[in-house]
Structure 1
Amino acid sequence: MLALRLARGTHPLVLTRRLLVAAAAAGVGFLLLCTLGYAVGHPERSSTSALRLLWCVLPLAATVQFAVAVARTDPSTRPRPGLSAVGLGPARLTAIAAASTAVACTLGSVVALLFYLHLRGDITGLPFDGAAAELLAADQPIPLAAALTLLAVLPVVAATAAGLALRPRTAPAPPEGAETTMPSGLPWGVALVAIGLAIETYAARGGAGSGLPLPGRFDGNPAGVLAGWVLTAAGLALAGPGLAHGCGRLLQAVRPGATRLLAGRVLMDEARRIGRPLGVVSAVLSGTFAAASVYDADTGSDAFGPLTGLGAALILACTTATLLTAALESRQGRAHTTEALLRIGAPPTVLRTAALLRAGALLAVFLPLTWAVAELAALPLTG
Structure 2
Amino acid sequence: MLALRLTRAARPAVQLRRLLVAAASAGTGLLLLSSLGHALAHPEAADAAALRLAWCAAPLAATVYLALAVARTDPGTRPRPGLSAVGLGPARLMAVSALTTALSCSLGSLLALLVFLHLRGDLTGLPFDGAAAGLLAAGLPLPVPAAATLLTVLPVTATSAVAVALRPRDPRPPVRVPRRFGRFGAAGGSAGKETFGAYGRFGTRLPQAPGDRRTATTALLETEGDPPAPENAPEPPAPDTDADSPAGLPWGVALVTAGLAAQAYAGRSAPVPVLTVLLGWLLTGTGLVLAGPGLTHLCGRLLQAGRPGALRLLAGRGLMAEAARIGRPLGVVCAVASAGCALTALSGGPAPAFGPLSALGALVVGGATLATLLTAAVEARQYRAGHTAALLRLGARPALLRGAAALRAAVLPALFGPLVLAIAALSALPLSR
Give the shorter-chain TM-score range. Answer: over 0.9
Deviates more, 1:350-359 or 1:66-75: 350-359
CA positional deviation for 1:209 = 4.8
1:189 partner letter? G
Tell me the amino acid that sits aligned with residue 145 of structure 1: P
The letter for the 2-side match of 1:235 is G
SS at match of 1:43: coil
Partner of residue 275, structure 2:
223
Aligned to 1:6: 6
Q: Which residue of 2 aligns with 1:281?
A: 333
Alpha-carbon displacement from aligned partner over 1:172-191 (angstroms, at most 9, x marks no partner): 67971425211111111111
Structure with the higher helix share, 1 or 2:
1
Name 1:32's counterpart in structure 2.
32
AA aligned opposite 1:193? V
Aligned Cα root-mean-square deviation (Å)? 1.9
Task: Give the conservation status (yes or no) of the 8 Å contact 1:118–1:129.
Answer: no
| Native 8 Å contact 1:121 1:131 kept in 2 | no
Query: Do the aligned partners of 1:240 and 1:276 also contact (CA within 8 Å) in 2?
Result: yes
Range with bigger deviation, 248-257 or 141-150: 248-257
Report if the CA contact (8 A) 1:69-1:325 is conserved: yes
Q: Which residue of 1 aligns with 2:219?
A: none
Task: Note if 1:176 corresponds to 2:238.
Answer: yes
Aligned pair partner of 1:235 in 287, 296, 301: 287
Q: CA deviation at 1:135?
A: 2.0
Q: Is the 8 A contact 1:66 1:318 kept in 2?
A: yes
1:367 match: 417
Q: How does 1:308-323 map to 2 (within 5 A)?
A: 308-323=358-373
Q: Which AA in structure 1 matches 2:301?
A: R
1:191 matched residue in structure 2: 254
Residue 91 of structure 1: how far off its partner (Å): 1.2
CA shift, 1:361, in A, is 2.2
Q: Which runs of 5+ in 1 are unaligned?
A: 211-221
Assess, with a 3 A threshold, how the Cα gap between structure 1 residues 306 and 130 changes in structure 2: closer, same or farther.
same
Partners in 2 of 1:382 and 1:209 — Cα distance? Answer: 11
Contact persistence 1:120–1:131 (CA under 8 A)? no
CA deviations 1:1-34 (Å, max 9, x no partner) are: 2111111111111111111110110000000000
Q: Which moved more, 1:27-36 or 1:87-96?
A: 87-96
State the distance in 2 between where 1:309 and 1:115 align. 17
Larger deviation, residues 255-264 vs 315-324: 255-264
Instruction: Note the 1:206-217 alignment, pairs <5 A.
Output: 206-209=269-272
Number of residue pairs aligned between Structure 1 and Structure 2: 370
Deviation by residue 1:240-278 (Cα, 9 ceiling, x = unmatched): 001101111111221222222211111111001000010
Q: What is the distance in 2 between the residues matched to 1:43 and 1:24?
A: 29
Amino acid of the residue matched to residue 54 of structure 1?
A: A
1:200 is matched with: 263
Structure 1 residue aligned with 2:317, among 257, 265, 272? 265
Fraction of identical pairs, as percent: 62
Q: Deviations over 1:76-121 (max 9, x none)?
A: 1100111000111111111111111111001100110111011101
Q: Which structure's CA Rg is the greater one?
A: 2
Distance verdict in 2 for CA 1:378–1:171, change over 3 Å: farther
1:49 counterpart residue number: 49
- Unmatched 5+ stretches in structure 2: 174-235
Deviation string, structure 1 residues 113-133 (Cα, Å, up to 9, x no partner): 111011101111796585522
SS in 2 for 1:256: coil
Which stretch shows the higher mean deviation, 129-138 or 106-115?
129-138
Cα distance in 1 for residues equivalent to 2:429 and 2:237:
48
